[in-house]
Amino acid sequence: MTGHNAAMKRIAGLFALTLLLALAGCSSAPSAMNAQDEALTNYGVAIRWSEFTDAWNYVDPALRMQQPLTDLELARFKQLQVTGYDVKARDDLPDGTVVQTVEIRLINKNTQIERTITDHQRWRWDPASKAFWLTTGLPDFTAEPD
């Protein structure tokens, strides 16, 4: 019986190891997918609520260093109220990049005029930080309405 118990323990150990390896293999892709969904959703929520400084945190750190937000831009953001954020198209590219086209409706608080702009977003996966970063920056709210 002792030999049988040892064999059963080895089989149980191999099964547990196989299960752990299978779960580890499955968890890497979903974590990137979860990070992608979380980043795009949270960024969209920040824009919808006109929380532009929160949205700024999703911009690629290299771009933030190259083109920091100015006091003038921050002042302009305070004049805007977003009234709609609708993803019109999304393409998940084979290299992990996500390209989105978003329609943003906003009101200038001073003029009370609503306008719509189209924001073309490009997101990249950064395996080092395990995060998705917006490489196209915040929407150009000064663009001509669509």
Q: Convert the pLDDT of each residue in 25-71 to its tens digit.
A: 444 444 667 888 999 999 999 999 999 999 999 999 999 999 999 99
Per-residue tokens: 95: 């290299």
Rounded Cα distance between 104 and 141, Å, is 9
Confidence of residue 2 (pLDDT cuts 50, 70, 90): low
* Position 13 pLDDT exceeds 70: no
Q: Convert the pLDDT of each residue in 64-93 to its tens digit.
A: 999 999 999 999 999 999 999 999 999 999
pLDDT of residue 121: 98
pTM for this entry: 0.76
Rounded Cα distance between 134 and 125, Å, is 9
CATH of 30-134 given 3.10.450.50, 3.90.1150.10, 3.40.50.2300, 3.20.20.70: 3.10.450.50
E strand or H helix at 132, and its extent? strand 131-134
DSSP 13-60: HHHHHHHHHHHHHHHHHHHHHHHHHHHHHHHHHHHHTT-HHHHHTTB-
Which runs of E-coded beta strand occur in 32-129? 80-92, 98-108, 114-126
Instruction: State how far the alpha carbon of 93 is from the alpha carbons of 20, 34, 122, 138, in Å.
Output: 30, 16, 10, 21
Tell me if 32 sits within 8 A of 124, measured CB to CB.
no
Span between the terminal Cα atoms of the chain, in Å: 79
Count of other CB atoms within 10 angstroms of residue 86: 12
Confidence of residue 108 (pLDDT cuts 50, 70, 90): very high
Per-residue tokens: 87: 């993803």
